Structure 1
Amino acid sequence: MRLLRFLTRRKHIGEVNASSDFVFQLSNHRLQYTAGGRTLIVSFDNAARPLNEKYVGRHTWGQKFYLGQGHSLLGVIARRRDWYRRYDLIEAFEAIKNQGFFESFSNVVFTGGSMGGYAAAAFAPFAPGCKVVAYSPQSTLKPDITPWENRFPEGTRQNWSLPFWDGADGVRHAGLCYIIYDNLDTFDRRHADRLSVGPHVVNLPIPGAGHGGAPMLNQIGIFKEVNRAMIAGKLDPKWFFKTIRARRGTLLYREVLANHALARNHPTFAECVHRLAGP
């Protein structure tokens, strides 16, 4: 995908430097950067954060963990659930790319969940060769491409004529991509299938994880270990699939399993699962 040159049309975002913190306010987003080590994490908000957390003062998703690992961190904070379909946000990424910001790091990782997972995949061309770590991502909500996706009407109504609308195209520019999702979820599985564009895409299905993946890894107690391995590009899928067997003992797994049973019109099984999940 050719990167568009928007800077002649819009106000310059300002100079950036990998060694100095910065914050830029856009129409519907905030870019907030904390300088650290030679690995840069670009973390996008998921769709729940604009609903549940105040925009002003909101920390970057995963901030405590990423900064605790000594990484540099660029947070993309969303005021609304717009699936990052804003002209000035694309312009801002173009601006910092043109200044050589992403090239200042030896390792760049784009990450997020759901809405943020879509953005992590779609925006990967701004840092060719980067890693993408996406939890239950949408590949796109462009209506003529994914007409079967009906869970996010607010997202579907956004401007999908803007560039970087397809995570499947974006992932082609990544050096390595990890996709964590619940393969029992029909919608998430179909998006993961669209994103599987080459051998550099590593699918990590977690049956019964629900829409998110990260909460399940937290309940198992391996979120930090898995993320460290993915950031380094050294996650062993065999180890991963063996370790996530522990999900069967989590409350989240039983709740998700019960919901799947109800969706498939098996209320008796769902009731049994709920009893097991109870105190």
Structure 2
Amino acid sequence: MESQTKGFAPDLSNQPRGEWLATLRRIGEEYGFAEPMGKSHAAIFVEEGDTLVVAFETMSGIEALSETRTPIGFDMVNANGWSSLSLLSHGDTWFRDERVYAFFDQLQDDGFFDEFENVLFYGAGPCGYAAGAYSVTAPGARVLMLQPQATLDPRVAEWDDRFAEERRRDFTSRYGFAPEMIDAAERAYVIYDPRERLDAMHSALFARPNVTRLRAPFMGGALQSDFRALDLLPGMLTSAAEGRLDTALFASMLRARRNHPPFLRRLLARLDADGRDGLARLLCQNVVGRMPAPRFRRRLTELEAGDDTARTADTG
């Protein structure tokens, strides 16, 4: 494909919501296409290279997580020369909408995905569900899902009480059960924190021969936010698109969390809750030796004072 997007790096950070949406639409019209799908959904396509990322995001999520208030796919256009198809929603809709079904039907009928050498579907949470569900329209694609839901159908996932009001959405018709929709994928990756019980239960429903499930302990329930803060997401997208995101590579990426205060705080809280004072002391010593960390310094002082008290009692 001939490059249209050299230096493609739009910055929409200062635009109000109405103008922001209009600008995204103009970008799509200039570099590919823009497709509104009712009041709740839209698609923005930017054509560049032979790798396509199909990323599902909420508009509020883009505004909160992107410094330039642009879809994650735009970053990959700029950094890797990929093409980008951004599926946007107003709020968490799980993209359960007849107009979205029709949009992907049309892409499949037109052979849209056949134009690309590599296709990667991506999303997190409800958007991770959508990435898995709609990947069936591009057989042989790869899929990267962060803590996705498998379904909200109460007959399957009645144990998930986080989205009780959303169970009225239809998860039983077309593109309904995400774990079945990834059967045509060349490889799918599910990343989750095993200590987030409901996320772990959903991840188990994705267990398939073509699925690699990657554990991220103590990373919590906002993986996309944390991975972006750690600048890990571009590398994850690249390695997933190339089919090489295995356990060893993922573990090497997660070493970055050693310098991530939210992860360290969660780890310390768990050690304290389990009464593992020795490990908590070692953790605090490690952290205060590497970075300014008042909370860990205070906790270390408490633990060392406790050790002194225990020694005094033993010799008294």
Greater relative contact order (Cα 8 A, min sep 6): structure 1 or 2?
Answer: 1
| Partner SS, residue 159 of structure 1 | coil
Alignment of 1:202-241 (within 5 A): 202-241=212-251
Equivalent position of 1:37 in the other structure:
49
Larger radius of gyration: 2
Native 8 Å contact 1:46 1:117 kept in 2: no
Q: 1: CA distance between counterparts of 2:147 and 2:56? A: 13
Structure with higher helix content:
2
Q: 1:265 to 1:174 in 2, by over 3 A?
A: same
Aligned partners of 1:23 and 1:118: how far apart in 2?
23
Q: How does 1:141-220 map to 2 (within 5 A)?
A: 141-198=152-209, 200-220=210-230
SS at match of 2:157: coil
Residue pair 1:46, 1:115 contacting (<8 A) in 2 also: no
TM-score under structure 2 normalisation?
A: 0.71
Structure 1 match to 2:7: none
Report the residue type matching 1:275 in the other structure: R
User: Structure 1 residue 195: deviation in Å?
Assistant: 0.6
Aligned-residue offset at 1:83: 1.0
Aligned residues: 254
Select 1:79's aligned residue among 67, 73, 90: 90
Structure-2 residue corresponding to 1:139: 150
Which stretch shows the higher mean deviation, 227-236 or 140-149? 227-236
Give 1:127 deviation, angstroms: 0.4
Q: Percent identity?
A: 25
Q: Deviations over 1:138-176 (max 9, x none)?
A: 111111110011112343232223311111101111110
Unmatched segments (≥5 aa) in structure 2: 1-29, 285-293, 299-316
Structure 1 gaps, min length 5: 1-18
Is residue 2:288 matched to residue 1:276? no
Separation of aligned partners in 2, 1:130 and 1:195: 16
- Asked if the contact 1:41/1:66 (under 8 Å) is kept, the reply is no
1:40-59: CA deviations, max 9, x gaps? 11000158528969xxx963
Q: Residue 194 of structure 2 contacts residue 200 of structure 2 at CA under 8 Å; is this kept in 1?
A: yes
- Higher alpha-carbon deviation: 252-261 or 83-92: 252-261
- Residue type matched to 2:211 in 1? V
Please report the TM-score for the alignment, with normalisation by the length of structure 1. 0.79
Q: Output the aligned Cα RMSD.
A: 3.2
> Secondary structure at 2:184's aligned position in 1?
coil
